[in-house]
Amino acid sequence: MSEADDALPPYEGILLADVRLVRTRQDADGALAALLASDTVGFDTESKPTFQKGEQSTGPHLVQLATDQHAYLFQIGAKPAPAESAAAADPGVDVLRAVLESAAILKVGFGLGDDLRRLRAKLGIETRNVLDLSTALRRGERNALGAKTAVARFFGKRLQKSRKITTTNWALPRLTDKQILYAADDAHVALRIYRHWRANPPPPLPPKPVAGGPMRAAQPKPRQ
């Protein structure tokens, strides 16, 4: 980010009181009802980082889904498991499958390619109706747009993303408050940006110049 972006006021993310950790069947039922009632949800995942060459990730270890009011965090463990056994052991997996595979609910987030592949490999979930904002929000840029840039552009705020938190162990059975807020914000801010973008569509980009100079009006052929 530029020095101008660094000078922006900090983005105030979701409150810890509005984050729900889905651990029990009752938690899962509440999350499912809220998520199925939403037309669009923010979406992201976190995986324990790998540091050794050739080391395979066992992620994702945390899946985040956000409505306008709350963020729901699903801890899905450190080890890959077949879909049937995972669902039996963790009621949250049923919720993830119902929401992520629903064609009626739009899932929005940033840089979702790895998230989708890992969910498919670990839980057999085929996520449907996904919008990757990192490409959808581009305005002539060649590179994908990140959440930091999008928050600065749309909200005039600075999204604080600590590398120290990013590289923590997301497979821990008990996450810290900082981890919980970081993860919840990733999903919730994506939904907020999407809502703002749809409510305030940008003007169309100017046409690209034609190679060889400006276009000229066609001249009439001389009469024979």
Assess if residue 97 is contained within a domain: yes
Assess if residue 203 is contained within a domain: no
Nearest to 80 by CA among 169, 171, 172: 171
CA 152 to chain centre: 17
187: domain CATH number is 3.30.420.10
Assess if residue 77 is contained within a domain: yes
pLDDT (tens, 9 = 90+) of the chain, 224 residues, equals: 555 667 899 999 999 999 999 999 999 999 999 999 999 999 999 998 866 676 677 889 999 999 999 999 999 975 444 444 444 568 899 999 999 999 999 999 999 999 999 999 999 999 999 999 999 998 777 777 899 999 999 999 999 887 788 888 999 999 999 999 999 999 999 999 999 999 998 777 677 666 665 555 555 555 54
- pTM comes to 0.83
CB 73 within 8 A of CB 184: yes
Assess if residue 207 is contained within a domain: no
Assess if residue 13 is contained within a domain: yes
Q: Burial-class residue 23 by CB neighbours within 10 Å (0-12, 13-18, 19+).
A: middle
Assess if residue 215 is contained within a domain: no
Assess if residue 210 is contained within a domain: no
Residue where the block lists tokens 């002539």 = 140
Return the structure tokens found at 47: 């995986």
How many structural domains are present in the chain? 1
Packing angle of the helix pair 91-100, 113-123 (nearest 10 deg): 130
Domain that holds residue 12: 3-197
